[in-house]
Structure 1
Amino acid sequence: MAERLGLTEARKVVDAMLAAAAERGLVMAAAVVDAGGDLIHLSRMDGGSALNARMSHNKAYTAVKWRRDTKVLKERLFDMGLGEERRDIAWFGDPMYTPVWGGILLKSAAGEVLGALGESGGTPEQDQEIGRVGARVFAEL
């Protein structure tokens, strides 16, 4: 498992996610941020939109800031079935917060958060699947 997250590792993660997306016929963007939520690397496939790029960065940023995968965050705070316990994202005061599937923490073997990845361009399930590809690649570095 990787013990650092720099440009070399971020590129490998993003490249793996975009290759997996291409294999599935998806057009996506993918990003990796550091432990502070600052962008290390972002790539967008030909035909991918600027919104995909922004969303991939925001998902990774959100995962790091909340110290949890965005799928868990969405289910815990933002799903409609929560009734009165549900929150509006504006309530938290950061326009980059994006509590939708696809932001996945990247941790060291000791459990230290080194950063996160995010991707955008598919359905929530497809985004999450592509994100898990990147997380596996990071775990194997």
Structure 2
Amino acid sequence: MSKIPDAPDLLKMSLIERLGRSFDALLRREFGQRFYTPEFLNEIVDKKAAVDAEMGKSAGATFLAASLITFFDLVSGKVTIGSGLSVDFSKDLSPILSFVTASLLLRTTLLMLDLQVINQIMIRLGQNINVNQFNIIFINRKSPGN
């Protein structure tokens, strides 16, 4: 099997880069103009803003959970909270907090991947019409909550 000259090795590309190349191929077809409709552009801007907001919340929660694990590692033994509620931090809460922290870290990572996919789509939309900074076009678009 002969290799096409100057063809990139698809196995060495990241999944997001392959997605961008596939989206680029769709843009060059006859129905590619539908990606420039106001409805599609508003939807992608809204989705990007929503993912940005969720990623901020998730990253903050991840940091808080990691800080709690650190705090509970420093506290040993039983601690009485309020009206006689006694909790053994090292045995009772460490596995639970570790699981919560790992879950939050996974959620933050997946949101970051979503954001990279959206950015790749926006870059390809701009490259197709020879606009290098296509994100600037979206500055005046609405965002969630406005």
Q: Which has the higher strand share?
A: 1
TM-score greater than 0.5 by the shorter chain: no
Decide which structure has the larger Cα Rg and report it. Answer: 2
TM-score, length of structure 2 as denominator length: 0.27
